[in-house]
Structure 1
Amino acid sequence: SVFMFSMLGIVLADNLVMIFIFWELVGFSSYVLINHYFDKPSAVAASKKAFIVNRVGDFGFLLGIIFVYWQFGTFNLVELQEAAGHHAELVKTSMGLLLFCGVLGKSAQMPLHVWLPDAMEGPTPISALIHAATMVAAGIYFTARVYFLMSPEALNVVMWVGTITAVFAAIVAFGQKDIKKVLAFSTLSQLGYMVAALGLGGLVQMEGHGGHGGLAIGAAVAMYHLTTHAFFKALLFLDSGSVINACHHEQDIYKMGGLSGRMPITFATFGIGVLAIGGFPFLSGFLSKDTILHLAHEGNTIVYILLLGTAALTGLYMGRVFVVTFFGKARSDHAAHAKESGLAIVLPLVILAILSVIGGYTWFLEGSFASVLNSIPHAADSGFKILMLITGTLFSVGGIVIAWLVWNPNKEADTLEVAVPVLFKALAARLYIDAAYDWYVDKVQDRVALILGFLDQLFISGLMVRGSAGVVALLGIISRSLHVGT
């Protein structure tokens, strides 16, 4: 309830201070829920990591809010929008990037992405609700709210951060055996798509709407993908929870296998989720991802190629999870005796599967995005639509087929791990970025803290506190010796 209250507060707040307060409450909720299994050391460590990493981003966020007030004298978003056009681009760039620091933490964008995979230590329904569909998307929503404070230069940075995160997460997903960790990196990648869309909106002009319309379109496209992503990613996480529950809390996909016949509803709904995230034509993921690729095609060729390649990788790593988990022989006793989950679990799966199919159509969304999406350059280009249909089919279905051929479901070990163990080890270690942070904290930050602690004891506690007390005491002794007592 605290989390829902906080999320609604972020959505309804009309000024930056209230948004920040609810923003922190959401972060606190995440910290507590990751630490749900408080007797599990890995869960405790993950909750601390999430809390600290988000505080790093929120420090920049708070500086941005202070900077905004210093420049405009108000926190109100309506008043800020009216005054935003009267300031220099350098000022807008600075405040935009400072505010975006909060998004780096909350929406787990590089280099503050490291907390989200570890957040999978929390209960799976929490992963589905908070760390896939809602809280991590708060940064996308916030950026859309303050889009008018973003200069073209700031949006260019936003675009590249999102693109790099999308590509990085898609690559690292191939080195994960934990089913929830794979979905966590897929969430990182899809959030990268949304952030890239926000940045690309600054490069693309809506026909007949001028520069301000060009900015609005990035926010609309990002929110569109945010909406559809909530459906199929929540579905995939709850499907994984169904599988984990049936396999007695086993999360290693190479200790599963053969579940398609034992868990038919979970198998079918997971398949729909895989097709949706892979961009299979006419499913929700295809419709929203298509709009982002339209923006990239129009705005930046390199980003377009990278995001298109990421779409191909998405179909492949999700195909790997699907094939290894549900096909072949059972690779453990728990998988061999798994049974379909009860109605309380499978009913939400069916509902989310339906939403993953129809959730991207503007008639279902009551036209919320229709007017903006129809104005995307080349949106009506039949040649481009055919290209997207072909690539969507190849990436989604082809990903499953290639995954079947490469990651044979009857094998006991991962094909990549056997073929290129050094590469697989690097991917499993998340390209050693987490290790680099650990080294920095252990070898650099701790030593800096020791030096600062020594200087604090010497100058602050020593000279200023104890020194001033000693001087006063000495003066007291001197003055006492001069007093004759009469």
Structure 2
Amino acid sequence: MPDSAYVLPAYLLLGLPFLGFLVLWLAGKSLNKFAGWIGVFLTAIGLIVSLKYADPSTLHLVKFDWLTIGNTAISLSFRFDTLTCVMLAVVHFVALLVQLYSTAYMHDDPNLHRYFAFIQLFLFSMIGIVLAESLLLMYIFWELVGLSSYLLIGFWYFKPRAVWAAQKAFVLNRIGDAAFLTGILMLFYYTGSTDFEVLSLKIESVSPGILTAIGLCLFGGCMGKSAQWPLSGWLPDAMEGPTPVSALIHAATMVAAGIFLLARISFLLTIDARLVILIIGTITMLSGAFKAMKAWDIKRVLAYSTMSQLGLMVVAVGFGSWQTALFHLVTHAFFKAGLFLSAGSVIHAVTPSQSEAPFDPQDMRTMGGLRTKLPITFICFSICAGALAGLPFFSGFLSKDAIITEGFLWAAEFGVLGYVFPIIVIFSAGLTAYYMSRQLWLVFFGEKRFEVSPSVHPHESPIAMLLPIILLSVLSLFFWFSVNPFNAEGWFLTFIGQSEDAHLAWVPIVATVTTLVFILLAYRQMQTNDPFDTKASSVSISTPEKQKLTWLRDYSQEHYFIIPFVFITKYLKLFEKKVIDGFIDLLAKGSVIFAHLIGWIDKTFVDGGVNLTVFAIRSAGQAARSMQSGKIQSYYIVTAMGIFLLILWLLML
């Protein structure tokens, strides 16, 4: 199919969501009743167009001139290739299910038109990133995605926490985007272009050191969007937005933009740049997993898990295998979106019919025993949790197995020290299994802790919410990606161009055993009298003097601050107090002592010297004056003495 045939799909894919945004935004509340279905319809058309024009075997470019700077013409180009096919299908499909889910989950909200308008704006921005053929064009849509995220996180603008979370996400993303823009400008300076096709030809002319710096600057954009350490603090707080938003942009699509960027620029990344990326991804993967083991908010656990899984994808890029990173991106998009939507179903079920200040429907300590009340949600949540934990027969097992295999193959070339990283990946997979077992137990098993509230009556969600959850859980099974449940080398990796590497037969066994060991540890914890210390960390609803300390999430201003910055400022305060203030105090005391010393020297030597000179001159004057007495006999004596001394001096010579 010629490139000219892709002009229409490019305009449709970008034009439909932007048109939907304008219509829903300008129409106002008059379209509240139909806003969700308008969004579903437009997204369904986009999905059909994406599938119809999918041609992964051939690169198609749609280009037109935008502006000219000096002798350099800047054009806007859209790209249709394998990466585009995959991402367009994932973005449209997840967005379609999320909007269908939202028609029921958000049906009572008075601002539905604004909610679905923002989702359409987000789709327009995300599709622009996927289609962009140049880093400059990608950056334009990159910023629009940041704006869309800000609007959706802060959708409930009357909640101070939601507004703060939106601001936090916006600020931290701007830090990463500044580095991203710096990398783009450096590329333009050294190559004269930001088009991927041109860069692939000119990149050899750039020195390795400069290329490493450029790659790390571009990676800064990924650190912001994909919540990599130390810019990961915004993602857990972004859960203050509506739950379907969490599923759409903070589990499946927006946070995946950074991984997509790394896949696009993989040919730019030097060995040194990939090593830094590997280290950052490892830190993020572990920190997210450890934080998920301690969180009580059902959505926050999944948010920390998303951080950890994004870190795993970045680790895969560090191993030099963007294909396995993309593989995990796709599988993660389905099962993590399913988990978030299932969490929304749980929250919907345990939300009190009457407002109760001390009862938090997102706190897992207010749940328990819900498997009998929500059987479909329980099954779907369990399937998606199994995929996230990396259990066999689920998609997550295949994608994690592929990354671990690539890790050991990379370590074999890197050296003995390199084996630390794939071993940490296996350990992190075990942690994932542990905290998902913990969450599954806290929500669906054990004591029915929601019964402390008389107005909570758990019930299964309507079909509009259950259908997307069921579809996403079915897509979390292994057979969609490989016929062999224990071998990741299925059609998908071949489809995205994964080279044939040796399959390590022992990797699935070791990964499975590790996962089962951690699940067993979680199970043993469940058998104790107080599993996961739920009673030690919560109180009965009948003790009002303690309610505000435990059941409610803390909305105080102190906890609004960005957690990484709190950590940094804590030690900066100590540094200022102990080092800087200590140095200033020492300098001040030294100055006082030095001033006293200078004063003593000035008084003793300078003033003393002057006084001595004055005294000597005065004494000499007085002596000379004493000889001018006016007595002639005195003058004779002086003359005689002078002659005598002169003769004596002559004789000595």
Aligned pair in 2 of structure 1 residues 373, 363: CA closer, same or farther (>3 Å)? farther
Secondary structure class of the residue paired with 1:154: helix
Residues 1:278 and 2:278 are matched in the alignment: no
User: Corresponding residue for 1:340?
Assistant: 460
- The one-letter code sitting in structure 1 at the alignment partner of 2:566 is A
Give yes or no for contact 2:289–2:308 (8 Å, CA) kept in 1: yes
Map Cα deviations across residues 262-318 of structure 1 (whole Å, 9 max, x no partner). 000111111111111001112100000011111222222111121111111100011
2:180 is aligned, of 53, 56, 61, to 61
Q: Could you say which residue in structure 2 is the equivalent of 1:350? A: 470
Closer/same/farther in 2, CA of residues 440 and 104 from structure 1, 3 Å limit: farther
Q: Call closer, same or farther: CA 1:407–1:60 in 2, change over 3 Å.
A: farther
The residue aligned with 1:224 is: 327
Report the TM-score, using the length of structure 1 for normalisation.
Answer: 0.80
Superposition pairs of residues 350-429 of structure 1, within 5 angstroms: 350-358=470-478, 361-362=481-482, 367-370=491-494, 375=499, 377-379=501-503, 381-395=504-518, 397-398=519-520, 401-405=523-527, 408=530, 412-413=534-535
Task: Trace 1:77-156 onto structure 2 (pairs within 5 A).
Answer: 77-156=196-275
Range 435-444 or range 353-362, more displaced: 435-444
* 1:308 match: 426
8 Å Cα contact 1:231/1:359 also seen in 2: no
- Give the Å deviation of 1:252: 0.3
Tell me which amino acid in the other structure corresponds to 2:350. Answer: C
- State the alpha-carbon separation in 2 of the partners of residues 406 and 170 from structure 1: 23
Q: Which residue of 2 aligns with 1:2?
A: 121
2:401/2:507 contact within 8 Å kept: no
CA contact (8 A) 2:526 2:532 kept: no
Looking at structure 1, the residues matched to 259 and 432 of structure 2 have their Cα atoms a distance apart, in angstroms, of 21
Cα displacement (A) at 1:431: 12
Return the offset for 1:347. 1.1
1:327 equivalent in structure 2 = 445
1:120/1:181 contact within 8 Å kept: yes
1:18-33 correspondence to structure 2 within 5 Å? 18-33=137-152
Sequence identity (%): 42
- 1:296: which partner in 2? 407
Return the structure number with greater relative CO, CA threshold 8 A, min gap 6: 1
Distance 2:340 2:236 in 1: 13
Per-residue deviation, 1:258: 1.1
CA distance in 2, matches of 1:27, 1:189: 21
Give TM-score, length-normalised by structure 2.
Answer: 0.60
Aligned length: 416
Could you tell me how far apart the structure 2 residues matched to 1:91 and 1:137 are? 27
Paired residue type of 1:341: S
Give per-residue Cα distances to partners, 1:407-433, cap 9 Å, x unaligned.
Answer: 85697426899xxxxxxxxxxx99963
CA drift of 1:220 comes to 0.4
Q: Flag the 1:269–1:29 CA change in 2: closer, same or farther, 3 A.
A: same
Which structure has the larger Rg over C-alpha atoms?
2
Mapped contact 1:330–1:336 kept (Cα < 8 A): no
Deviation at 1:111, TM superposition (A): 0.4
Unaligned runs of 5+ in 1: 202-217, 418-428, 446-486
Q: How far apart, CA to CA, are the structure 1 residues paired with 2:339 and 2:529?
A: 20
How far apart are residue 133 of structure 1 and its match?
A: 0.4
Aligned to 1:433: 564
RMSD across aligned positions (CA): 2.9
- What secondary structure, in the 3-state scheme, does the structure 2 residue paired with 1:259 have? coil
* SS of equivalent residue, structure 1 residue 120: helix
Q: Which runs of 5+ in 2 are unaligned?
A: 1-119, 352-359, 412-417, 540-558, 577-653
SS in 2 for 1:340: coil
